[in-house]
Amino acid sequence: MTIDYDVVIIGGSLAGYYAALAATQLRATVALVEPKVDYGFTHHHALTEIGKLAQKLNDAAGFGIYATHTNTSEERHISMAWQEAMLYAQCVASNLREQHSPAILAAQGVDIIVGSGQFQSSPQLAFAVNNRLLRARTYLLASGSRPEIPEIDGLQTTGYLTLSNIWQSLQGKTLPQNWVIIGGIPQSIEIAQTLARFGCSVTLAVKHLYLLPNIDPEIAILLQAQLEIEGVRVLTDKPVTQVRAIENKKWIQAGDKAIETDEILVATGQQPNLESLNLAMVGVKWHRRSLVVNDKLQTTNQHIYACGDVIGGYDFANVANYEAKIALNNALFFPRLQVNYRSIPWAMFSVPMLAQVGLTEAQAKCQFRRDEVLVLRQYFKTVAAAQLRGETTGICKLIVLRNGEILGASILGLEAGELINLIALAMSQKIKVKDLANLSPVYPSFSEILEQTAREWSKQKLNSNIAMQEFLEGFFHFRRNWNL
């Protein structure tokens, strides 16, 4: 069989783009099918940043900064702000789209093939697209995902928006003032807060007991309190059971609450884009929300690998790129690398930001003896940089073993995304918590909180060691008397 490519990458996700460029840098021949990246996430992040600035302006009086305006001009300003914010987000998305254009990929040596196709197994494994057979030694699925729509009575007939079309649908339109967001995932929380900062009335309905099922409950409660302070109505443990349209208004039944709203956003999760690829014909198995892969990111067909949204989990670009790196190396060389998510961080762009890596307190106590797990915590209000910036809401939690091994961290606060990267690096390099305690970070800076939290390890160890306490007391008593 003639091999046309070392690897064919299927799907225009950012992970697919990353893998295609990495393959050319390794001097491999690579084709990328369907290079159409959805830049809705760019609108989302751009509007989040604008929402942060708007909140800062609202809080400016606390810093001694005042502005005067009339009610009429204020209303006009708010209306113009939304349209200008959308224009800014569109410009950012356009710039990124240009940087990731097919022309730039092609200039780097990637064979760009626009079109949809499917696998075929006879006479040999190949991918058919545009009446052409692409034959490769291996294939990488990076086709991304689309919103999963829950089966809720009346939802389809009433109408709704999703994460993939919310910003596009609002271009050139007046921003609806009343929103109900269904779902507890990072993006739903981010959008709820952004809409609230643009002056909308927002209700976030979550079926779980906490905002997110996989984060530390202590941090989830603190984040929920911050959302509610900013005007987001949070309904936890309230699954949505029905939706109705009554007299040009939409009504939602969430638990025992009936809520009237202008618009509904469904953000309950994602499902992989797989149906049209003819995977069953080539022996690739998948569940409803993810492909079946091993720890080397091989599917049930050893020649086909996968990365990103198609294998499930939250939609985080850095996690997808990590998977793309592992899958590509295994596909091009030998399948020896294994994924290990323990030192891969993720972050949610709420305000304050939430970032996490490794195990939570509950997970650690399930995997290890409870008396071997130490929980170290420090609050942002103890950090000088946080006081100076007026950003004192937040907490840093380190989960460690008594021997100093770092098992995980959860950080809620300003610069959490940058701080968690340092913890992730320490975990990947097996740096102990005592080494973090020996940091001498720039003062004032938010990195101080890592040093402060890490110092709690030696305090806790000493507090639980009565013999060592008695020895130290006796030693210094002797020293004081000896000096006399």
82-129, pLDDT tens digit by residue? 777 778 777 877 777 777 777 888 888 999 998 888 999 878 899 999
Q: Is 186 annotated as a binding residue?
A: yes
User: Quick one: 345-467 is in which CATH superfamily?
Assistant: FAD/NAD-linked reductase, C-terminal dimerisation domain (3.30.390.30)
Tell which CATH classification among 3.40.30.10, 3.40.50.300, 3.50.50.60, 3.30.1300.10 matches the domain 150-267: 3.50.50.60
Mean pLDDT across the stretch 156-171? 89
Please state whether the peptide bond connecting residue 217 to the residue before it is cis, i.e. omega within 30 degrees of 0. Answer: no
User: Residue 216: pLDDT above 50?
Assistant: yes
Of the candidates 276, 251, 331, 274, the one whose C-alpha atom is nearest the C-alpha of residue 298 is 331
Q: Is 190 annotated as a binding residue?
A: yes
- Secondary structure (3-state) at 475: helix
In the structure, what pLDDT confidence band is assigned to residue 314 with cuts at 50, 70 and 90?
low
Mean pLDDT across the stretch 251-256? 93
Q: Is 117 annotated as a binding residue?
A: yes
Residue 51: per-residue pLDDT: 74
Bridging pattern class, strands 354-358 and 406-412? antiparallel
Mean pLDDT across the stretch 373-390? 94
Share of the chain above pLDDT 70, in %: 91
Residue 271: per-residue pLDDT: 84
Q: Is 156 annotated as a binding residue?
A: no
Least-confidence region, from 38-42, 205-209, 307-311: 38-42
User: Residue 275: pLDDT above 60?
Assistant: yes
Q: Is 184 annotated as a binding residue?
A: yes
User: Residue 326: pLDDT above 70?
Assistant: yes
Query: Which residue is associated with the tokens 């098992």?
Result: 407
Q: Is 59 annotated as a binding residue?
A: no
What is residue 380's DSSP assignment?
G
Could you check whether 5-40+88-147+271-332 and 345-467 share the same CATH topology? no
In the structure, what pLDDT confidence band is assigned to residue 145 with cuts at 50, 70 and 90?
confident
Of the candidates 340, 164, 382, 116, the one whose C-alpha atom is nearest the C-alpha of residue 265 is 164
Domain ranges of the chain: 5-40+88-147+271-332, 150-267, 345-467
CB atoms within 10 A of CB 130: 11
pLDDT digit string (tens) for 17-35?
Answer: 889 999 999 999 999 997 5
Q: Is 189 annotated as a binding residue?
A: yes
Query: How would CATH label the architecture of 5-40+88-147+271-332?
Result: 3-Layer(bba) Sandwich (3.50)
Separation of alpha carbons 114 and 299, rounded Å: 24
| Residue type (1 letter), 120 | Q
Q: Which two tokens stand for residue 284?
A: 């690739």
Q: Are 119 and 141 in contact (CB under 8 A)?
A: no
Mean pLDDT across the stretch 259-276? 90
Mean pLDDT of the chain: 87
pLDDT digit string (tens) for 173-192?
Answer: 888 999 999 998 999 999 99
pLDDT greater at residue 148 or residue 74: 148
| Residue type (1 letter), 210 | Y
- pTM greater than 0.85 (yes/no): yes
- Secondary structure (3-state) at 263: strand
pLDDT greater at residue 250 or residue 47: 250
